[in-house]
Amino acid sequence: MGHDHAHGHMAADGRRLRLAIGVVALGLVAQLVGAALSGSLALLADSGHMASDLAGLVIALLATIVAARPASGRQTYGYRRAEVFAALINGLVLVAVSLSVAVAAVSRLLDPSHLEVLGLPMLVVGLVGGATNVVALLVLRGGASHSINMRGAYLEVLGDLLGSAAVVVASVVVLTTGFAQADSVGSLIIAAMIVPRAWSLLREAVRVLFGSAPGDIDLAAVRAHITDTAGVVSAHDVHAWQITSGATVFSAHVVVERDVFCDMRVDETLDALDRCLASHFEVEHATFQLEPADHAEHERATHD
């Protein structure tokens, strides 16, 4: 993915996020009013989740704006990692919301004596909230495949859609059976649905921030592809990491036959290595240090 292509994605992502923010804000107002009228904890929990969605979308938008800034002499890769920090914050917010919802739901289940839930307002507002989530998901879907930041925003809204579904089911139970604790059970279900998505997002963000090799890249397979290139003897100091999701960077020291230098085949070898990594592993930027075997023998050891 080239520099201009990446910035094209960021501009489109910014437009998606602005539209999603407007939609989710309207849904949040409706849910807060509905929670106050109905006394529903599930609806209040879903409102809290939607508020975290809104905050997450704003954070994602700010990160997209920062990430679009060009590289400089000091920030040589630009500011694209801002997207990863935004995803990390979104994941932490999701965990905090799920824990607070779970605590409140358990408290209500243990002491239901003053529990009064109005099922009809809860149902209507749950349906309105679900509709706004569906619209926001459709808006964000196009950016979720190429950006961890957009994936975080998408997961936030998806979790809230599941929460709205739980609110609707709980409201139907309250209306048809009078079992008011269904509201608290729905809240626990909402919390349980948030946690796996938050964990997945946090794990991916932490992996990028620690400079770990992307999960879809097998370094042993990369090394094998490199050594299959004509004139290559072996490879060492092989590293792969991500600036942000979808932006994999690679470096390696490649031991080549001395004939590669003698016959002026360095350009040809580098082109072959670049094509290999770009086609098989979708590496955005690769750096190779070509060296003869006798140089590799006395080079300071750093990594296999």
Closest CA to 125 of 50, 19, 181: 50
Residue 162 lies in a domain: yes
pLDDT of residue 291: 87
Tens-digit pLDDT profile for residues 20-78: 888 888 888 887 887 777 777 666 766 776 777 787 788 778 877 877 777 777 777 77
pLDDT of residue 296: 57
Least trusted range by pLDDT, from 1-5, 176-180, 198-202, 221-225: 1-5
> What's the structural domain count of the chain?
2
Say whether both 200 and 253 belong to one domain: no
Residue 14 lies in a domain: yes
Q: Categorize the per-residue pLDDT at 9 as very low, low, confident or very high, splitting at 50, 70 and 90.
A: low
Residue 265 lies in a domain: yes
pLDDT at residue 190 greater than cutoff 60: yes
| Alpha-carbon span 57 to 156, nearest angstrom | 8
Q: Residue 100 forms beta bridges with which residues? A: none
Q: Are strands 248-256 and 285-292 parallel, antiparallel or unpaired?
A: parallel
Last residue of a domain, one of 189, 209, 229: 209
Say whether both 129 and 13 belong to one domain: yes
Segment 243-253 mean pLDDT: 82
Closest CA to 143 of 134, 156, 154, 132: 154
Residue 304 lies in a domain: no
Closest CA to 129 of 80, 165, 103: 165
Percent of the chain residues past pLDDT 90, beyond the cut: 0
| Alpha-carbon span 136 to 17, nearest angstrom | 9
The boundaries of the domain holding residue 191 are 3-209
